[in-house]
Amino acid sequence: MLKENPKHYNEINIIYETIWRSLVEGVNNRSSDFHTFALATTDGKRSAVRTVVLRSCSKKELSISFHTNNYSNKINEIKENSNVEGLFYSKNKKIQIRISGQALIFNDVDICHTIWKNMSQDARDCYMYDEKPGTRIKNPKSIKKNTENKANKNFSLININIQSIEWLYLSSSGHRRVSFNKENSFVGDWIVP
Ligand SMILES: Cc1cc2nc3c(=O)[nH]c(=O)nc-3n(C[C@H](O)[C@H](O)[C@H](O)COP(=O)(O)O)c2cc1C
């Protein structure tokens, strides 16, 4: 646990830079707290949240991405309502980051084929099941496997186009909370923690 507040504690511009540094670290370092995030979706009737792995981020394009099975429930939810939120939390750094935006689904297009080609067999295995994720089964040991080609088509890339980022840091010497929005060009506003 950090004993002292980070130097950028009161510097809104530096906070924005550290958010992006944390995301880059999350993409590149499997042991980073920012390597996974909780993705919240809603189809209008119910909400759902689950852990996904952060696969890429772009400060320039204002986006983050993750991979998923095209037949998973989250895909239907995103098709119903593309507004999603990603939640990152580092216990070590005492930082929570919430990223809201619109999710865009890419399936069976060039970018997906390229990612698939470079994917490890372990990662590919997540897309090999014959049945849709979430289907009831009698025996977990006897799930039928797809061909590589079908599995490739099960794979989707989801890009989240960021609309807003909220940063929260809890400290005994005073909490800090900042909101960055597309409308004000991600300049950042202090908000009540
Ligand atoms: C550490 C961890 C990482 C995960 N990464 C992903 C991921 O990158 N993509 C994904 O679709 N599911 C991932 N999952 C599984 C999801 O949390 C979830 O169980 C699954 O995608 C089905 O969700 P859905 O039915 O809401 O679509 C991960 C789970 C854990 C525990």
Which tokens sit at 96? 């929570």
Question: What local confidence, expressed as pLDDT, does residue 82 receive?
Answer: 98
Can you list the domains of the chain with their CATH numbers? 7-190 (2.30.110.10)
Hey, which of 27, 34, 51 would you mutate to test ligand 1's pocket, going by the most ligand atoms within 8 Å of its Cβ? 51
**Rounded distance, CA 68 to CA 127, Å?**
8
The identity of residue 17, as a single letter, is: E
Nearest CA to ligand 1 atom 31: 51
Across the chain, which has 193 residues, the per-10-residue mean pLDDT values are 76 96 98 98 94 98 98 97 98 96 98 96 92 90 84 95 97 94 95 96
**Rounded distance, CA 20 to CA 141, Å?**
41
**Rounded distance, CA 24 to CA 30, Å?**
11
Instruction: Supply the DSSP symbol for 39.
Output: E
18 lines ligand 1 (CB under 6 A): no
> Are 54 and 25 in contact, with CB atoms under 8 Å apart?
no
**Rounded distance, CA 33 to CA 134, Å?**
27
Question: What local confidence, expressed as pLDDT, does residue 75 receive?
Answer: 98
CA of 15 to the centre of ligand 1 (A): 29
The residue count of the chain comes to 193
Say what the pTM is.
0.96
